[in-house]
Amino acid sequence: MEKQVILSPKQFELTLNRLCYQLIENHNNFENTVLIGLQPRGINVLTRLKAQLEFILKKEIVCGNLDITFYRDDFRRRETPIIPSATNIDFIIENKKVVLIDDVLFTGRTIRSGIDALMAFGRPEKVELLAFIDRRFKRQLPIQADYIGKTIDTLSTERVNVEWTEIEGKDQVVLYSQENNG
Amino acid sequence: MDNLSVEHLLGIRDLTEKDIQIIFQTADSFKQVINRPIKKVPSLRDITIANLFFENSTRTRLSFEIAQKRLSADIVNFSAASSSTKKGETLVDTVNNILSMKVDMLVMRHPNPGAAQFLSTKVNAKIINAGDGTHEHPTQALLDAFSIREKLGDVAGKKVVIVGDILHSRVALSNIYCLQKLGAEVMVCGPTTLIPKHIHQLGVKVEHNLIKALNWCDVANMLRIQLERQDIKFFPSLREYSMLFGLNKEILDNLDKEIVVMHPGPINRGVEITSDVADSKQSIILNQVENGVAIRMAVTYLLAAKIKHQ
For B228, counting Cβ atoms within 10 Å of its Cβ (0-12 exposed, 13-18 middle, 19+ buried), the class is exposed
What is the tens place of the pLDDT at every residue in B58-82?
A: 889 999 999 999 999 999 998 877 6
Residue B254: predicted pLDDT: 94
Contact flag B3-A81 (C-beta cutoff 8 Å)? yes
Sorted by sequence, the CB contacts under 8 Å of residue B200 that are 6+ apart come out as B206
pLDDT at A118 over 90: yes
A160/A172 Cα distance (integer angstroms): 11
Contact flag A81-B301 (C-beta cutoff 8 Å)? yes
Averaged pLDDT, B169-181: 96
Q: What is the DSSP string of B243-257?
A: HHH-B-HHHHHTSSS
pLDDT at B149 over 50: yes
Residue A14: predicted pLDDT: 95
Q: Provide the pLDDT confidence category of residue A78 given band limits of 50, 70 and 90.
A: confident
Residue A90, domain member (yes or no): yes
Q: Which CATH number fits domain B12-136+290-304: 3.40.50.460, 3.40.190.10, 3.90.1150.10, 3.40.50.1370?
A: 3.40.50.1370
Tell me how many residue pairs between chain A and chain B have CB atoms under 8 A apart: 57
DSSP H or E stretch at residue A55 = helix A42-57
Residue A100: predicted pLDDT: 97
Å between B299 CA and nearest CA of chain A: 12
What is the tens place of the pLDDT at every residue in B84-106?
A: 666 778 888 888 888 888 899 99
Q: Provide the pLDDT confidence category of residue A48 given band limits of 50, 70 and 90.
A: very high
Residue A176, domain member (yes or no): no
B205, B185 contact by CB (below 8 A): yes
Q: Which CATH number fits domain B138-289: 3.30.70.2860, 3.40.605.10, 3.90.1300.10, 3.40.50.1370?
A: 3.40.50.1370
- Residue B170: count of CB within 10 angstroms of its CB: 24
What is the tens place of the pLDDT at every residue in A8-42?
A: 999 999 999 999 999 999 998 899 999 999 988 99
Count how many domains chain A has.
1
Sorted by sequence, the CB contacts under 8 Å of residue B179 that are 6+ apart come out as B141, B145, B148, B155, B158, B160, B186
Query: How is the beta sheet containing A147-153 ordered, strand by strand?
Result: A63-66, A33-38, A97-105, A126-136, A147-153
Residue A174, domain member (yes or no): no
| Inter-residue long-range contacts of B211-214, CB under 8 Å, 24+ positions, other chains counted | B211/B251, B213/B161, B213/B163, B213/B187, B213/B189, B214/B161, B214/B247, B214/B251, B214/B252, B214/B255, B214/B259
Phi and psi at residue A148, to the nearest 5°: -125, 130
DSSP 8-state secondary structure symbol assigned to residue A98? E
pLDDT at A182 over 50: no
Å between A69 CA and nearest CA of chain B: 9
pLDDT at A44 over 90: yes
Tell me if chain A has a CB within 8 Å of the CB of B24: no
Closest by alpha carbon to B283, among B208, B221, B195, B228?
B221
Residue B83: predicted pLDDT: 66
Contact flag A119-B38 (C-beta cutoff 8 Å)? yes
B2, B269 contact by CB (below 8 A): no
Residue A7, domain member (yes or no): no
Sorted by sequence, the CB contacts under 8 Å of residue A7 that are 6+ apart come out as A15, A149, A150, A172, A173
Contact flag B29-A80 (C-beta cutoff 8 Å)? no
Instruction: Delimit the CATH 3.40.50.1370 region(s) of chain B.
Output: 12-136+290-304, 138-289
When the pLDDT of each residue in chain A is averaged and rounded to a whole number, the result is 91
B234, B175 contact by CB (below 8 A): no
Å between A81 CA and nearest CA of chain B: 6
Residue A9, domain member (yes or no): no
**For residue A140, what is the domain's CATH number?**
3.40.50.2020
Residue A69, domain member (yes or no): yes
Contact flag B38-A121 (C-beta cutoff 8 Å)? yes
pLDDT at B263 over 80: yes
Domain encompassing residue A127: 15-23+32-74+85-154
Tell me if chain A has a CB within 8 Å of the CB of B33: yes
Tell me if chain A has a CB within 8 Å of the CB of B277: no
When the pLDDT of each residue in chain B is averaged and rounded to a whole number, the result is 92
What is the tens place of the pLDDT at every residue in B7-22?
A: 999 999 999 999 999 9
Å between A150 CA and nearest CA of chain B: 31
